[in-house]
Amino acid sequence: MAVPRAPLRLVGPVCSVRGVHGLSGTGPPRGSQQRWRALLQFLTDHFYDVEALRQYLLRKQVLKVQRDNRSFTSLEERYGPSVAGAFFVLKQGGAVKFRDQEWIRPSKHGRFSLEFFKSQNVSVEAVDASGCAINYEGLGSLLPLRELRSLSLQRCPHVDDWCLSRLHPLAASLEELSLAGCPRVSERGLACLHHLQNLRWLDISDLPAVSNPGLTRILVEEMLPGCQVVGADWAQGLRLGSEEQPRDAASPIPA
């Protein structure tokens, strides 16, 4: 038996269907009135309550992330992996550096020159994807960059342990890696970096999913002996309480 749908309740200022009146008492242009009526009708037709609306917006966000992480197979077939990988990073809002060239960064409006399409025979040596929405699927666009030396994934909200387990194809070239501020990276993901024996610098600062940063840093340094690990105090999480501190031999014993 179908459950009758209750009308959507809108909490806030009372709005006229014929127009929305602000504090000034003047209504918006006719086009705005039509768009507002269409929005109200859409909300009423599709959602039972605020929770349904929240779920709808969440699905839209997930679909956008999936769309942004699609691979550009046709570009790779025509121009090679360097151009396709660079195009993917720039579309995400990141920056790339081809060998012996300057950094290429998009403008604040997301625009960038396509001159790098002429660099199909030049390898990409550095990628700055800080803050980008790269996920497990999107990372596949970077793995063919077999001469990539530096990779920054700082503050990437969708980079997780599974992503780090996928970096092993870059083991022969990757020397610098930043994971600072990635909320989904934990000790398990960092353990997957043991393949990257050519790493010389690794930033693991501000990883909220890592429960014991100090111990994790020690373990990572043992796992990658030739790598400088930064961003976590080795004693962080290992400090003893005042009652557990070792007693100085010269200190008097309390009565």
Closest CA to 5 of 56, 37, 43, 32: 43
Say what percent of the chain tops pLDDT 90. 59
CA distances from 198 to 43, 75, 92 (A): 54, 30, 27
Amino acid at 153: L
Confidence at residue 232, expressed as pLDDT on a 0 to 100 scale: 76
CA dist 134 and 244 (Å) reads 44
Positions of the chain with pLDDT lower than 70, given as ranges? 1-31, 40, 43-58, 60-62, 64-65, 234-255
Confidence at residue 85, expressed as pLDDT on a 0 to 100 scale: 96
**Domain ranges (residues) in the chain:** 31-66, 67-230
pLDDT in tens, 10-40: 444 434 334 434 444 445 556 677 877 777 6
32-64: burial string, b at 16+ Cβ within 10 Å, e else: ebeebeeeeeeeeeebeeeeeeeeeeeeeeeee
Domain 67-230, what architecture?
Alpha-Beta Horseshoe (3.80)
Confidence at residue 7, expressed as pLDDT on a 0 to 100 scale: 46
Confidence at residue 207, expressed as pLDDT on a 0 to 100 scale: 96
Instruction: Record the pTM.
Output: 0.70
pLDDT in tens, 36-59: 777 767 766 665 566 666 666 667
The torsion of the CA quartet 73, 76, 82, 88, rounded to 10 degrees, works out to: -30
Confidence at residue 112, expressed as pLDDT on a 0 to 100 scale: 93
